[in-house]
Amino acid sequence: MDYNPAHTAVVILNWNGLRFLQQFLPSVVANSGNAEIIVADNASTDGSVVFLQQHFPQVRLILHSENFGFCEGYNKALQQVDAKYYVLLNSDVEVPPGWTEPIIELMEQDTSIAVCQPKILSQQHPGFFEYAGAGGGMLDVLGYPFCRGRLFETLEEDLGQYNDVQEVFWATGACMFVRAEVFHGLGGLEPAFFAHMEEIDFCWRAKNVGFKVMYNGHSRVYHVGGGTLHKSNPRKTYLNFRNGLALLYKNTPTKELISSIMLRVLLDWVAALRMIFAGQHKDARAVLDAHTDLLRNSAYWRRRRREQQPKGSFPQQSGVYDGSIVWKYFIQQKRVVQDL
């Protein structure tokens, strides 16, 4: 199906990512057809803006006055972008020719699709899936995210097992195609998250009002991952645990809320104990800080829950695994999605 690529805007949010812009922006400019390429800069201090002005004058620049983080950085930028489809693309992603067409064509065919992602492969090891998104995102019954092609730290080799088009629960923020009217209609990304799991929250809200979230394995990109915060950084631990619990609280239907939250808190503390025994004391403290922050700002999260109360029953959502991924992975030693 033909479409007008001018209706697509590829928007890269940058914060001190000069090395990634130098390495990967050329592929985005060369391989994105007539899509508008935009870099929204979160007040970088590493020369990113000067580099873009000198070497990529065809790329539109949106300059923020401060580092607003991933969520508000995109919210503020996309308020200034007129397009039918947005592509939220990390700066550390390499794209091949023809990467946008299969996804835009799919979304043009079905207006109920709000969000879609391509296959996410490792830029360093192209034969394997990459952690952030892999073959499409899923949740278990306790709200733990995982991906087709990635369970916790175990990454599958790409053998064509996910060369499909499949409805999933969430699409990765590393390369997320989103219908612009839905993005703005849902109020954009959750600003209090700052970064991490904001795409899961957005996709959950989209599904709660009847939209689909899709994965299209006919398109692929290559992601470095961990470009801003490495997975070993306690700040990332804090954001993941805080946002993971807030995500569950915001979106879980009332009848399942108490049991889900209680079990999730218990498992969080089990994880913190494992960190202590492994000598990761800063990460364990980050879990405590995450829970403390949620309690301190409970009024805000109660208000957000009221504003975004989900419809329907969470277990019936497409892309939800009716079991515990923690149990399957750590106790039963399951390492690939097909074995769940």
pLDDT of residue 209: 87
Q: For residue 3, name the pLDDT band (cuts at 50, 70, 90).
A: very low
Q: Which residue has the higher pLDDT, 195 or 316?
A: 195
Residues 6+ apart with CB under 8 A from 185: none
Residue 170 Cα distances to 1, 129, 203, 221, 236, angstroms: 25, 16, 5, 17, 20
- Name the percent of the chain lying above pLDDT 70: 94
5-223: CATH class = alpha beta
Residues 6+ apart with CB under 8 A from 287: 237, 238, 241, 268, 269, 271, 272, 275
Question: What are the tens digits of pLDDT across the range 125-154?
Answer: 999 999 999 999 999 988 899 999 999 999
> How far apart are alpha carbons 78 and 104 in whole angstroms?
18
Handedness of CA 112, 191, 252, 312 (dihedral sign): negative
Q: Taking the mean position of all CA atoms in its chain, how far away is CA 50?
A: 28
- Ranking 57-66, 90-99, 186-195, 227-236 by mean pLDDT, the lowest is 227-236
**Domain boundary assignment for the chain:** 5-223, 234-317
pLDDT of residue 229: 55
> How far apart are alpha carbons 254 and 249 in whole angstroms?
9
* The model's pTM: 0.93
